[in-house]
Chain A
């Protein structure tokens, strides 16, 4: 698998995801500076967490209109896998690659902590290495992760299996108490229609190393390597 991480000036999880990809791939991903739209063909594009262009406007809104994102969108439409984590998820909703929007957290505060999320299906490039229905522990760190879409959109997404992850209790029950940000239907991550694009608020790259307290995030990267190699 060849992977590229798009580095925006305010990205701050680019190195973290580079480390996780290197660990699973056994080689270096391509680090693509946001001013270089013309990068080599790859199997996976990662939009990392951070504050892209400062995010003083709506998070990800400026990034969505940057030249490099036009290229990312074009490649996504051709079927290249795209993974957007946190700020990357915000860019995906802003470009319309996945449905919905990410609003300010319901309690208006930034939240950084481990949460448990339920793997809705293992039938995707991203989740093949997870057991369906299982609760995995992954950290969140965001101010704007409150997922919203209208009821019709949500119903369609549910029918198509576009909900990737939901916030849940450690036993897998999807409860209001396990929702860290007010997201509709506890949604933590969603796919596009073809399930080649995944956006999620939790950071799988942050728990892919036993020294950091857990490895539940690693299977996402291992699964991608297996599926795309």
Chain B
């Protein structure tokens, strides 16, 4: 072993306790480093430990709990641990997908933060051999009244669009919510779904002494150094000073990289491939060597650099975008070089695999860093952080309650509220049709993307109800998974698997860790009951500013399969004289509801219980009815309950409805609990033959009741929620569509 490393450029600062602290490492962690190295690390080596052991890269606080999630199933080809999860979608194809956060950078520099978030998740997916076919995102902003919110919304939406639109992958779905808890920490979670031949999936494990390590893509610059460490710390008032750690995206290069990599993947030249994401060259080379049980030697002076005079420290820690690391079969260098030159991308052999189990970094022939791979990559700290359960809250009595406004007034207020208003202003800035396979566009329960050249499709959505997770993390975690499963079901698809993006505050606080533990427990139960395993995911902790944490936000990205695109439905009411049938039991659960929060101004109580057996039974029933053609439209019930669901269906179809029969029926809860309660496991469907549908439901043991009729389509269409009050759809539409553009133009 080359032992002591003495390149001045790598060691231009001595490693003092202060330098160790600046790298986000505590004393115990530094002692472990000394143990592993058998000597003091130089600055370059310390920097490598720091990023590899950052919360962002090592999952040190969350690992213990993530391991408890179900990750297996007959549909799973590859669960968590690779760049993205892989599931079998039949006919020799696999869907590859993952969601990832870019929260901290997006708060500091919203356009580039969001854009590079999209770029990063795209790379995670095409790295594995998939052509990306759809992007989704889950965005959470602070209160609309907060002075920064408008600027952040504008920047993030433009950044998401600016990247995805240029790369040419449609952005087909997502969610946008507002809450004061995100004032200092917005959430930008981006998801990509790709499709690959099931027998040509590419993994990151690299083995084979002497095989060339190749760098392709953009040149390395000084941007994003220590981004992973930044993303593992809380913010304070000086966070603007962190702007230089945010990377700059180049979607055109990403597009070239996708095409070049897919072209190379069609040959047999690749041993392993890995994108350079968080912690750049460090993490990509470590992971490849570690998973393959090999060593690696890199000659850093061969790394294509944007600027002269970059140090090994900067090269190893840069998070410049649009770069990939590939281990090639020997002798395939010219073939690969030809492809990358065709696409005008940099291509450089920067090293080779060894059998030493070490990473040796050289600059101009001198060793500047030498670290053992396995101890560093796998023996990273793992914490069992103390946690404290969230105290349970009481249920809200549906009858013990006098509403402050009429149901019609409440509905109008909700439909024009920041959380429930139309997000058209957002998704019209995203190209959601490019690639020519978008069958169900944004705005419905789940987006549907056709599998190119077939009559099959993938359904996808992203979901979370953070106020439930705050009030009762376990119920909230289960509800997020159940709602994802419902949304996929509501278009007629079979839910297959999820990716999760766990966004929480500081895990060193027991109450925050308790939220994390609770959400995981709920997710686990729901994933098991619904056969809906986790195949990939990402954790974003330390979403706090000056000690103020975000709402616990475990976002679930779900993917489902449609075997026949001729048997799907949307949410739009299909025209007059059909019967509206409510599937599932309604007790009028108002605790933690959006009605209490936004209409009565008093958010309180326990969130709705999630009966997973009922979810399963009701959902399987609805899906079968959609597939058999006996249902003409379907919408899941979520925020705002029945009233909001029927209003969204009416607006989508420009079609009236009268559900006063349901309100008048004895046995249903009183208004407003009937209309605005958020009981789970429910769907609203339309049918031309309610007798047959109700009989089928009874036979399946699924609660179902006819609650009203659809009305006429057109300019005069009206919605009647309860006897005596008609709402003009045109007025409702103006309120629903008006809020967000009005807010952004103010």
A contact residues vs B (CB 8 Å cutoff): 9-10, 12-13, 15-16, 19-20, 35, 49-51, 53-56, 109-113, 139, 141, 143, 203, 205-206, 209, 211-213
Binary contact readout B157-168 vs A (1 if CB under 8 angstroms, 0 otherwise):
010011001111
Of B165, B251, B255, B343, which one neighbours A141 at CB under 8 angstroms?
B165
Residues of A within 8 A of B158 (CB): 109-110
Least CB distance from B211 to A in Å reads 29
Q: Does B435 contact A (CB under 8 A)?
A: yes
With A209-B436, A211-B565, A212-B438 already in contact, the answer to whether A50 and B168 are too (CB < 8 A) is yes
Q: Write the nearest CB–CB distance from A34 to chain B, whole angstroms.
A: 11
Write the nearest CB–CB distance from B387 to chain A, whole angstroms: 44
Q: How far is the CA of A127 from the CA of B435 in the complex (A)?
A: 24
B:494-525 near A, CB below 8 Å:
none
Known: A51-B255, A206-B433, A212-B433. A13 touches B168 (CB 8 A): yes
Binds A, one of B84-92, B359-367, B423-431, B671-679: B423-431
A-B pairs with lowest CB-CB distance, top 10: A12-B168, A54-B252, A16-B436, A141-B431, A51-B166, A110-B429, A112-B431, A113-B428, A110-B161, A206-B433
Question: Smallest CB-CB separation from B438: which chain A residue?
Answer: A212
The 8 Å CB contact of A54, one of B166, B259, B441, is: B166
Of the residues B428, B436, B455, contact of A112 by C-beta under 8 Å: B428
Q: By the criterion CB–CB under 8 Å, are A205 and B436 in contact? A: yes
Closest to A49 in B: B434
**Known interface pairs A15-B436, A205-B436, A206-B433; A110-B565 also in contact (CB < 8 Å):** no
Which of B429, B434, B441, B455 interacts with A12 by CB under 8 Å? B434
- Are A141 and B166 touching (Cβ within 8 A)? no
Q: Which of A10, A35, A206 has the most CB of B within 10 A?
A: A10
Question: Taking the nearest CB of chain A, how far is it from the CB of B475, in angstroms?
Answer: 37
Spell out B's residues near A (CB within 8 Å): 158, 161-162, 165-168, 250-253, 255-256, 259, 342-344, 427-439, 441, 450, 455, 565
Contacts of B437 in A (CB 8 A): 212
Alpha-carbon gap, A56 to B252, bound state (A): 9
Given contacts A109-B158, A112-B427, A112-B428, 11 further A-B contacts (CB under 8 A): A9-B255, A9-B256, A12-B255, A20-B436, A35-B342, A55-B252, A56-B252, A109-B429, A141-B165, A141-B431, A205-B436
Query: 10 A-B Cβ contacts within 8 A?
Result: A9-B344, A10-B252, A12-B434, A15-B436, A19-B436, A51-B251, A110-B165, A111-B429, A211-B439, A212-B433
Quick one: closest A residue to B439, CB to CB?
Answer: A211
Please measure, in the bound complex, the distance between the C-alpha atom of A35 and the C-alpha atom of B251, giving whole angstroms.
21
CA distance A209 to B453 in the complex (A): 12
Contacts of A20 in B (CB 8 A): 436
List the B side residues contacting A13 at CB < 8 Å: 168, 434
Known A-B contacts A205-B436, A209-B436; A51 and B252 likewise in contact (beta carbons under 8 Å): yes
On whether A16 and B435 interact (CB within 8 A), knowing A54-B252, A110-B429, A112-B430, the answer reads yes
Cα–Cα distance between A143 and B165 once the two chains are bound (Å)? 10
- Chain A residues positioned under 8 Å from B455 (CB to CB): 211
> CB-nearest residue of chain B relative to A208?
B436
Interface centre among A9, A35, A56, A213 (most CB of B within 10 A): A9
Q: A9-B344, A10-B255, A54-B252 are in contact. Are A112 and B432 (CB under 8 A)?
A: yes
The answer for the CA separation of A35 and B252 in the assembled complex, in Å, is: 17
- Minimum Cβ distance to chain B for residue A208 (Å): 9
**Which B residues are CB-close (under 8 A) to A205?**
436
Give the distance in Å from the alpha carbon of A195 to the alpha carbon of B194 in the complex: 41
In the bound complex, what is the Cα–Cα distance between A59 and B214 (angstroms)?
Answer: 33
Cα of A60 to Cα of B429 in the assembled complex, Å: 20
> CA–CA, A202 to B255, complex, Å?
22
CA distance A13 to B455 in the complex (A): 21
Max count, chain A CB within 10 A of own CB: residue among B166, B256, B450: B166
Task: Judge whether B434 and A53 touch: CB under 8 Å.
Answer: no
Query: In the bound complex, what is the Cα–Cα distance between A205 and B436 (angstroms)?
Result: 8
Chain A residues lying within 8 Å of B432, measured Cβ to Cβ, are 112
Q: Are A112 and B433 in contact (CB under 8 A)?
A: yes
Name the A residues within 8 Å of B259 (CB-CB). 9
- How many Å lie between the Cα of A227 and that of B7 in the bound state? 72
The complex places the Cα of A141 from the Cα of B250 at a distance, in Å, of: 20
Q: Please measure, in the bound complex, the distance between the C-alpha atom of A203 and the C-alpha atom of B433, giving whole angstroms.
A: 10
- Pick from B161, B162, B165 the residue with the most CB of A within 10 Å: B165
Contacts known (A51-B252, A111-B428, A211-B565); A9 close to B343, Cβ less than 8 A: yes
CB nearest to B166 among chain A residues: A51
Closest A residue, CB atoms, query B453: A19
Q: Of all chain B residues, which has the CB nearest A141?
A: B431
Given A9-B256, A56-B252, A211-B450, the answer on whether A206 and B343 have CB atoms closer than 8 Å is no
Query: A203 vs B168: C-alpha distance in the bound complex, in angstroms?
Result: 14
Residues of A contacting B428 in the complex (Cβ-Cβ under 8 angstroms): 111-113
Within the complex, the shortest CB–CB distance from B427 to chain A, in Å, comes to 8
Most chain-B CB neighbours within 10 Å: which of A15, A20, A35? A15
Nearest opposing residue in chain B for A112, CB measure? B431
When C-beta atoms are compared, the residue in chain A nearest to B741 turns out to be A107
**Cα–Cα distance between A9 and B341 once the two chains are bound (Å):** 12
Among A141, A205, A213, max chain B CB count under 10 A is at A141
Bound complex: CA of A51 vs CA of B254, how far in Å? 12
Contact between B431 and A110 (Cβ–Cβ < 8 Å)? yes
CB nearest to A139 among chain B residues? B433
Known: A12-B255, A56-B252, A141-B165. A112 touches B429 (CB 8 A): yes
Query: B558 CB to closest chain A CB, in angstroms?
Result: 22
Nearest residue in A to B457 (C-beta to C-beta)? A211
Q: Which residues of B contact A55 (CB under 8 A)?
A: 166, 252
A53 to B165, CA, bound (A): 14
Given A50-B168, A54-B166, A141-B165 in contact, is the A16-B434 Cβ separation under 8 Å?
yes
Quote the shortest CB–CB distance from A56 to chain B (angstroms): 7
The residue that B436 contacts in the complex, of A10, A56, A206, with Cβ under 8 A, is A206
- CA gap between A19 and B158 in the complex, in Å: 29
Residues of chain B with a CB closer than 8 A to A12's CB: 166-168, 255, 434-435
Bound: A55/B259 CA distance, A: 18
Find the B residue at minimum CB distance from A9. B256
A112 to B430, CA, bound (A): 6
Q: Name which residue of chain A comes closest to B429, CB basis.
A: A110
Least CB distance from B248 to A in Å reads 12
Q: Is the CB of A141 within 8 A of B439?
A: no
Measured between C-beta atoms, what is the minimum distance from B554 to chain A in Å? 30
Most chain A CB within 10 A, of B342, B431, B455, is at: B431
Inter-chain CA distance A13–B435, complex, in Å, is 7
Residues of B within 8 A of A56 (CB): 252
Closest chain-B Cβ to A186's Cβ sits at a distance in Å of: 19
A111 to B165, CA, bound (A): 10
A53 near B429 (CB under 8 angstroms)?
no
Q: How far is the CA of A50 from the CA of B256 in the complex (A)?
A: 13
- In the complex, what distance in Å separates the CA atom of A166 from the CA atom of B432? 23
A residues less than 8 Å from B343 (CB atoms): 9
Chain A residues within 8 Å of B251, by CB = 51, 54
Task: Provide the bound-state CA to CA distance between A16 and B435, in Å.
Answer: 6
Q: Smallest Cβ distance from B183 to chain A, in angstroms? A: 25
